[in-house]
Amino acid sequence: MERKSNKPIRMTEVCLRDGSHALRHQITDAQVRRVVRELDDAGMHYVEVCHGDGLGGSTLQYGKSLINEMKLIEAAAMEAKRASIAVLLIPGIGTVHELKEAHSLGAGLVRVATHVTEADVSAQHIHFARELGMETVGFLMMAHMAPVEKLVEQAKLMESYGAQAVYVTDSAGALLPHQVRERIAALHESLKIEVGFHAHNNLSLAVANTLIAIEEGATRIDGSVRCLGAGAGNTQTEVLVSVLDRLGCDVGIDLYKMMDLAEDTIGPIIPQPIEINKGSLVLGYAGVYSSFLLHAQKAAKRFDLDARDILTELGRRKVVGGQEDMILDVAAELAKGKLGV
């Protein structure tokens, strides 16, 4: 495999954060402990643990957590011997106060996430994280919604604030392979820091897009065991590790242990298969935030609608993460139209 970067690839496992969406944020501390322990034993570099919408996300709007995320972060840190515990922070949902507490409990990495055109709101949080001594990266969500030039501009802002890496985040699983290639290549050429890539599998392109990202210079890569994540899940970690091994790219993660974790530990806690169905497919097709799926299905049931119509309309309106309240508004409007009111 030819890569544009000779830096080692470092993987972040997101099944305990992005996967929180699929589990309706009902993860227990016992589950976190077991998963982190097994990931650590397999050689995973980073394990992300917090509410699916990041620190502070346990609300009625985003979904209440069964267990306080700070207890989960603390439990994860106690089990990790080699891996670093990561958290996600979306300014406006999480604050520097939650970040400080997460750090005190053992979180070593924070990904500060904003909409792809709103990097300027990350300055305070990136500065604060660096002052705490945390490894700090930027996360540009819904990366399909901005042209390459805008993406580069926003990534440079995060770099100027002190981010040590910037991710191209395909939150909707909407990016096509050529779009991933041009975005990662542009950031690799334009930034002095590392480039990362976070994929969703709504169009069945997560592994392929991640490989392209690695070829073009991405060295920070996300995966989720058994595809456990929002929508149709993320890049399936055990599959990606096996493909990279076939390509002669050793990332230092034990494939058999990841397979066992996926089959014996993650499999039994998944309430339903993480697969590409009509709901998750329309997420990628319409370019809608992957965590909207369960909210849209709930609204569709309430208003006697097809969830696909709700998601398609959300995509048409370019609704983004943080605007979950729009899901019910759109559903109500569609219901009125359906009834001829």
What DSSP assignment string belongs to 146-164?
Answer: S-HHHHHHHHHHHHHHT-S
What pLDDT, in 10s, does the model give residues 238-278? 999 999 999 999 999 999 999 999 999 999 999 888 999 99
pLDDT tops 70 at residue 281: yes
CATH class of 10-268: alpha beta
Whether 245 has a binding-site annotation, put simply, is no
Q: How do the domains of the chain map onto residue ranges?
A: 10-268, 291-339
For the segment 288-298, the average pLDDT, to the nearest whole number, is: 88
Whether 200 has a binding-site annotation, put simply, is yes
What pLDDT, in 10s, does the model give residues 115-160? 999 999 999 999 999 999 999 999 999 999 999 999 999 999 999 9
337: confidence class by pLDDT, cuts 50, 70, 90: confident
CA distance 119 to 173: 20
Predicted local confidence at residue 338, as pLDDT: 67
Predicted local confidence at residue 341, as pLDDT: 40
Whether 24 has a binding-site annotation, put simply, is no
Predicted local confidence at residue 339, as pLDDT: 54
Predicted local confidence at residue 273, as pLDDT: 87
The catalytic position among 21, 45, 115, 144 is 21
CATH class of 291-339: mainly alpha
234: confidence class by pLDDT, cuts 50, 70, 90: very high
Whether 178 has a binding-site annotation, put simply, is no
Predicted local confidence at residue 60, as pLDDT: 85
Predicted local confidence at residue 212, as pLDDT: 98
Burial of residue 246 (number of CB atoms within 10 Å: 0-12, 13-18, 19+):
exposed
pLDDT tops 50 at residue 335: yes
pLDDT tops 70 at residue 18: yes
Predicted local confidence at residue 294, as pLDDT: 87
Predicted local confidence at residue 323, as pLDDT: 80
Mean pLDDT taken over the chain: 95
Residues 6+ apart with CB under 8 A from 77: 85, 105, 106, 107
Whether 295 has a binding-site annotation, put simply, is no
**Residue bearing the bigger pLDDT, 321 or 64:** 64
pLDDT tops 90 at residue 325: no
What pLDDT, in 10s, does the model give residues 90-103? 999 999 999 999 99
| Residue the block writes with tokens 């290549």 | 185
- Do 329 and 305 form a contact (C-beta atoms < 8 A)? no
Residue 21 annotated to the active site: yes
Predicted local confidence at residue 62, as pLDDT: 86
